[in-house]
Amino acid sequence: MDATTEPIVAVVGYPIAGNPTQFALETGLEAAGIDCRIFSINLSPDSTADALIGMAAMNFAGVWVARSSMAPVQKWLAEDLDQASSVDFLIPPCGKSAKQPRDWKTFKLKAEAWPKLVATHLAVSDYSLKKVILAGGPNSRIQVLSTGKKGSGKQETGQEGNAEVAVNETAIEGKPGSTASLGIQAAFLKECQAQLGKVFGELTESDVEPFRRLPTHAEITNRLNELADDEGVLVVLGPDADRTAWNASMNSIPRRTVVVDLNGAWEPMDVAHAEHLKASSDGHLIRSLDIHAQCLSSLVKQLFESTVAAEVFQEAIDEYLAV
C-alpha cells in the first residue's frame, strides 16, 4: 500500500443501499484519528472477480463483503479455498498476482465475533449452556464458527465441503443423533470447541438440535424445562431464516436463553423487532447489529493495529438506521 496516500477500504454489496457499514467505519476511524477513505460499491455478481482484482491493482487496503455479495465472492474464492462460505473481509495481496484467490488474506470476522459475545455474556451469568438450537433458513445453512485459516481441508459435515443438512420443515424433525442432523452438529461442535472450549466444551453432538425454521417461545421453554436451573439454551438464528412468523409471535426471550441473530440484512421490521426483544426479555439477545459492530472493531485492529471499541460502531449503526 502506498504510504503517501490515504488507505481505501471498499464495502461491496448488491444492492449496497441501506447498509450502515460505511457510515459506521467512517465514524469509528474518525474517533481513532485514522485517515482512511471508505467507498460503498454496488457490485454486480458478474463483475465480482474483475472488481476485486481491480481493487488490488489500485492498492485498496481491504474489502468488506456485505451479505448480499457473499455468494459471488465465495464462488471466486472457492476455486482455491476449501472453506470460503463465511469469508466477509479480504485484504488484497501485496507484490503477488491478485488474480489468484489463494494469495488474498481472508477473514471470517462474523463467525469469530458471535461466539466471543456469547462467552462474554455467560461470564457474568448464573447459568451455562447445555443445549443449542441451530435455526436455519430454506437450505438449513448455518454460518458456524470458523478459524479463518486457508487450506485447512473440508468441513466435517453431512455433505462434503459445506455445513448443510436436510432438516425437515416441521418443528423438531432432524432430531439430535439422527442421520440428517449429524453433519451440522459435528461441524458446529468441532469449530466452537476449538475456539471456545470453556463455553462449548461440555456439549456433545446430541445437545445440538437443527431446526428448519425459527423456534417458538414454547419450543425454547420446553427445552429449558428439561434442564437444571443453572443450565441454559443457545439459539442461533441463521442468516436465511424466514423471520415473518418470528417477528409476529416472539414477544420475549425466556430467561437462561441466549439468542444470536446472524441476519445482517438491515430490514426495518427485523431491526425494530430486535430492539423490542432486547428491551422486553429476561433472556439475552445478541443482535446482528452487535455482531457487526464487533466485526468492524476487529477490522480496524487488523488493518491499522488500532483499537476502536465496538460500542462506537454500535452507536453509529443505531444512528444510521434511525434516520
The mean pLDDT of 61-75, rounded to a whole number, is: 92
d(CA 144, CA 215): 18
Q: How many Cα atoms sit within 13 Å of 2 on the Cβ side?
A: 9
Q: How far is C-alpha 267 from the geometric centre of its chain's CA atoms?
A: 16
**Do residues 304 and 15 make contact, with C-beta atoms less than 8 angstroms apart?**
no
The better pLDDT of the pair 133, 140 is held by 133
The mean pLDDT of 100-115, rounded to a whole number, is: 89
Does 138 have pLDDT greater than 60? no
> What secondary structure, in 3-state letters, does the chain show?
CCCCCCCEEEEEECCCCCCCHHHHHHHHHHHHCCCCEEEEEECCHHHHHHHHHHHHHCCCCEEEECHHHHHHHHHHHCCCCCCCCCCCEEECCCCCCCCCHHHCEEECHHHHHHHHHHHHHHCCCCCEEEEEEEECCCCCECCCCCCCCCCCCCCCCCCCCCCECCCCCCCCCCCCCCCCCHHHHHHHHHHHHHHCHHHHCCCCHHHEEEECCCCCHHHHHHHHHCCCCCEEEEEEECCCCCCHHHHHHCCCCCCCEEEEECCCCCCHHHHHHHHHHHHHCCCEEECHHHHHHHHHHHHHHHHHCCCCCHHHHHHHHHHHHHC
The mean pLDDT of 179-200, rounded to a whole number, is: 63
The better pLDDT of the pair 45, 196 is held by 45
Does 136 have pLDDT greater than 60? yes
d(CA 238, CA 142): 5
**Do residues 144 and 196 make contact, with C-beta atoms less than 8 angstroms apart?**
no
**Do residues 237 and 161 make contact, with C-beta atoms less than 8 angstroms apart?**
no
The mean pLDDT of 8-22, rounded to a whole number, is: 95
Placement of cell 457473499 in the chain: 70
pLDDT at position 284 is 97
Query: Mean pLDDT in the chain?
Result: 81
Q: With cut-offs at 50, 70 and 90, classify the pLDDT of residue 213.
A: confident
Q: With cut-offs at 50, 70 and 90, classify the pLDDT of residue 265.
A: confident
Cα separation values, 229 from 49, 245, 282, Å:
52, 29, 14
Instruction: At 116, give phi and psi (nearest 5°).
Output: -65, -35
**Do residues 295 and 287 make contact, with C-beta atoms less than 8 angstroms apart?**
no
Placement of cell 437444571 in the chain: 228
pLDDT at position 198 is 64
> Which residue from 230, 130, 140 is spatially nearest to 187, judged by alpha carbons?
140
At 158-186, the pLDDT tens digits run 333 333 333 333 333 444 434 344 566 66
pLDDT at position 83 is 43
